[in-house]
Amino acid sequence: MQSKLKRQKLIVVSIVLFVAFTYPIISIANRVKMVAGIPVLFLYILIVWIAGITILYQIAGRKQKKTDE
């Protein structure tokens, strides 16, 4: 049961990341402005990428609890 739930969470996060990196969403961050000397688009890609890796690590890294029933 736990494995199925983990798989579902991984699929949902993967779909959200896929949508976050598609053209219509990325075009929102594609501005000529800079934040601390870094283009907004680069910051968007970096932040979403790091957040995705962190979330996927948290989901995949959780160990299943063994119950003796």
| Amino acid sitting at position 63 | K
- All residues at 6 or more sequence positions from 19 whose CB lies less than 8 Å from its CB, including other chains: 25
Res. 69: pLDDT tops 60: no
pTM for this model (two decimals): 0.77
CB environment 6-38: b (16+ within 10 A), e (fewer): eeebeeebeeebeebeeeeeeeebeeeeeeeee
Spatial neighbors of 51 by CB under 8 A, at least 6 apart, are none
Q: What is the pLDDT of residues 21-39, one digit of tens each?
A: 999 999 998 988 899 999 9
